[in-house]
Amino acid sequence: MKNIICDIDGVLMHDNKLIPGSDKFIHRVLEQGNPLVILTNYPVQTGKDLQNRLGAAGINVPESCFYTSAMATADFLKHQKGNKAYVVGEGALTHELYNAGFTITDINPDFVIVGETRSYHWDMIHKAARFVAGGARFIATNPDTHGPNFTPACGALCASIERITGKMPFYVGKPSSWIIRSALNHMQAHSENTVIIGDNMKTDILAGFQAGLETILVTSGVSQLSDIEKEPFRPNHVFSCAGDIDVV
């Protein structure tokens, strides 16, 4: 029985609306007993928030199935030296960092960690850039530049700090294989028996390819059939939507 890592936006939902058939797919997976992680680069919502979001659309999944870039970032940092962090982000990210034993501070932090926040302002940029220039390690939850309707995302927030300091962050989220390895550890699974389902060749499918997973592209989101030829790697399977998947 295959382990399944599944993206949310573009695979299960568009904004907060169900993609037809995705509810039946997820419920079939749960009935079959496939180990499941629903993985997102979005660091602002907790597992409970995501459970409520999908539940409102008719997809009922245990909270334990959700894994975010905020959780993966906390997991990454537990393997690094230092326990003080200056954070640009929302409560879900700081919650995961607190749980991992970190002190959130703007006094000599070991790390500058950027997630996403609508409260981004000049003072945050100034402090983050000063700390990074002074030697704090620069970590970001994901490289996404924008969300729906061009809302600024983590990569966009990092850009000003990069330009000021000349230093790039380590991005934990997709397409980094780190978040895939972290999700595999979370579900106690191995790459050779795991499939990733995503709608984006440049993030989901690339991350799965780099981590050695079987990959499924659905064309209900970002990438279309014409986009496959633009990349040097290929998904193992292609379906129009999650409801059509018949290989897991």
Regions of the chain short of the pLDDT cut 50: none
Domain contains 60? no
* Residue 148: per-residue pLDDT: 78
Q: What is the pLDDT of residues 135-171, one digit of tens each?
A: 999 999 999 999 878 899 999 999 999 999 999 999 9
Domain contains 227? yes
Which residue in 7, 23, 75, 144 is the catalytic one?
A: 7
Residue closest to 171 by CA, chosen among 10, 81, 43: 43
> Do 194 and 130 share a structural domain?
no
**What range defines the domain where residue 146 resides?**
70-171
199 is catalytic: no
Q: How many domains does the chain fold into?
A: 2
User: What own/partner pairs with CB < 8 Å and gap ≥ 24 does 175-179 have?
Assistant: 175/143, 175/202, 175/203, 175/204, 175/206, 175/207, 175/210, 176/207, 177/207, 177/210, 177/211, 178/72, 178/76, 179/39, 179/41, 179/69, 179/72, 179/207
Q: In the listed set 122, 143, 171, which residue is the last one of a domain according to the structure?
A: 171
Q: In the listed set 125, 142, 171, which residue is the last one of a domain according to the structure?
A: 171
> Do 97 and 161 share a structural domain?
yes
9 is catalytic: yes
Q: What is the pTM of this model?
A: 0.95
Q: In the listed set 142, 171, 200, which residue is the last one of a domain according to the structure?
A: 171
Dist CA 36 CA 74 (whole Å): 21
* Residue 154: per-residue pLDDT: 97
> Do 227 and 145 share a structural domain?
no
> Do 154 and 181 share a structural domain?
no
